[in-house]
Structure 1
């Protein structure tokens, strides 16, 4: 969950840039103008962001927390599978958002419903045989702990001295 929170902070920057780009290109002056088009644009930008990075194995937050997304056999996922994972990951939010819209709930009640659903959805992972999130199970992916292998020659090698310079005697 810590990785998820960190990813949310990083996504703030993505949303900011996407919103700025959209409002500049569409000449939107009021935040409520073109609201649904902006939401669709941000949804597509999120899709591009996550599909791109998941197909590479990790987002920046996943790299920080040593998490990698792979298929059920441990192989890197394709862009198609990453897109499927992105679609299923919306199960974290779509049910409460749809209920809020259908029942015309005020913002505060919608937020409580959404937070409650996210907590329930996270707890439901405990009931999966491999203790993974259900959107990963549906998409045929899983998260693993993964540390990048050390590059050869990077650790323990002294820095070469500049050509013609005397070695320094300082500690």
Structure 2
């Protein structure tokens, strides 16, 4: 029996990647809940506004650990659900340093609009509209990448590809 040639990995559609992105956001509520509870218990924080910046820094680290660990393994739970895998440009699994770089660069989804609103006293609704608008623009910009990849993936040297789990 001759070995089968593997087809080149295809980029999942933008709609599928955004559905995965939204599902990932829902799953992150559990991570935030557990991490927030742990932080509040360990720091003895009684008011949500106390230690707010320390909590934000703690969550940034917890998210970094979560994503770096899962991406270095190839997929988060949401990515498994949507049959998406993160690989390097050559199609190999990514290393933890590359996964960490991807994590830092993935903040391009949120930091530009948050930096833009910080000098102004905008309401929560106005900030939400700006963030959602930027997320839509950032997602649509993937259409201009030669392989339809998100630009933070291009900068990190990673790719999102369709991955079908083998059923044994």
Mark yes or no: TM-score above 0.5: yes
> Structure 2: where are the runs of 5+ without partners?
1-17
Residue equivalent to 2:75: 58
- CA shift for structure 1 position 102: 1.9
Once the two structures are superposed, the pairs formed by residues 121-136 of structure 1 within 5 Å of their partners are 121-136=138-153
- CA shift for structure 1 position 104: 2.8
Separation of aligned partners in 2, 1:68 and 1:33: 39
Residue equivalent to 1:18: 35
- CA shift for structure 1 position 105: 1.9
- CA shift for structure 1 position 150: 2.6
- CA shift for structure 1 position 103: 2.2
- 1:27 to 2:47 alignment: no
Query: 1:143-168: CA deviations, max 9, x gaps?
Result: 111122233xxxxxxxxxxxxxxxxx
Separation of aligned partners in 2, 1:78 and 1:50: 12
Higher relative contact order (CA 8 A, sep 6+): 2
Residue equivalent to 1:87: 104
- CA shift for structure 1 position 100: 1.2
* TM-score of the two chains, using structure 2 as the length reference: 0.88
- Provide the aligned length of Structure 1 versus Structure 2: 151
- Secondary structure at 2:161 match in 1: strand
Query: 1:19-70: CA deviations, max 9, x gaps?
Result: 0000000000001000000011011000000000000000000001110000
Separation of aligned partners in 2, 1:103 and 1:136: 31
User: How large is the Cα RMSD of the aligned pairs?
Assistant: 0.8
Separation of aligned partners in 2, 1:104 and 1:128: 35
Find the partner of 2:129 among 112, 121, 128.
Answer: 112
- CA shift for structure 1 position 16: 0.2
Separation of aligned partners in 2, 1:111 and 1:59: 26
Find the partner of 2:88 among 71, 79, 84.
Answer: 71
